[in-house]
Amino acid sequence: MADSDSRAGSRYATKPILDWCAQTHAPHDAALARAFAVPEGVPAIQVGPSEGQLLALLCKLAGAKKAVEVGTLIGYSSIHIARALGAGGHLWSIEFEPRHAAIARDNLAAAGLSDRVTGVEGAGVDVLPTLEPHGPVDVVFIDADKVNYERYGAWAIANLRQGGIVLGDNSFLFGELHEDTDRGRAMRGFHELVAKSCDSVNIPTPDGLVLGIKR
């Protein structure tokens, strides 16, 4: 069993240190600032600036052209991903809440990315099968309802090219990964599925980010 204490187990990432690193490596331009600032009534549950930048860099490393995102919210991570795909790339981004999808559409237009992103409204489990004709894809980023992560992960594994990457946000499940709940089981199932089909790791962002490269 790997011992999590064998590297001292200290966490040096204080808020001032994390904020300085985000400012230094991943400063917002106007389009990102706009999509990061949630309006009244929209939950502030987007990925952080450093995590958004990490998504972008991983897409670049993978040479990604085609990406699927489950959970647009208002388009902050979508902007990071879509920019990283470059001209000729395309992102299909799924959002369940019509109001969030509408705000995302405006934010993506303000970022000049309307041509590169297709927003699809609906539940991930319903929409994903309709995207299969666009596959195989290079990247799948999952950041939606946690109870369906295992299903989203299965779709990703089935529709990624070999060498393509699957990413899953909130992989610590807000600290509830081990709980005997539907979403606890689903998140553990997601981890195990990715580990079985990919070279994978859990990146210890504040709430965890699973990365798998499909074998």
Contact 148, 124 (CB under 8 A): yes
Closest to ligand DHB by CB, 78 or 170 = 170
69 binds, among ligand DHB, Mg ion, none (CB under 5 to 8 A by kind): none
Both structure tokens of 159: 């529709």
Q: Does 69 bind Mg ion (CB under 5 A)?
A: no
Closest to ligand DHB by CB, 89 or 171 = 171
Closest to ligand DHB by CB, 43 or 129 = 43
User: How remote is the C-alpha of 135 from its chain's centroid?
Assistant: 18
106 binds, among Mg ion, ligand DHB, none (CB under 5 to 8 A by kind): none
Distance CA 71, CA 100 (A): 10
Write the CB contacts of 49 (distance below 8 Å, at least 6 apart in sequence): 22, 26, 27, 28, 32, 36
Both structure tokens of 164: 């393509």
Quick one: which of 43, 88, 95, 50 has its CA closest to 69?
Answer: 95
171 binds, among Mg ion, ligand DHB, none (CB under 5 to 8 A by kind): none
| Least distance CB 146 / ligand DHB (angstroms) | 7
Member of 170, 171, 197, 200 binding Mg ion (CB under 5 A): 170
| Least distance CB 86 / ligand DHB (angstroms) | 26
Torsion angle of C-alpha atoms 197, 200, 204, 210, degrees rounded to 10: -30
Distance CA 139, CA 209 (A): 14
| Least distance CB 107 / Mg ion (angstroms) | 17
Which residues make up the interface to ligand DHB (CB under 6 A)? 45, 143, 169-170, 207
Q: Does 143 bind Mg ion (CB under 5 A)?
A: yes
| Least distance CB 170 / ligand DHB (angstroms) | 5
Give the binding site for Mg ion (CB under 5 A).
143, 169-170
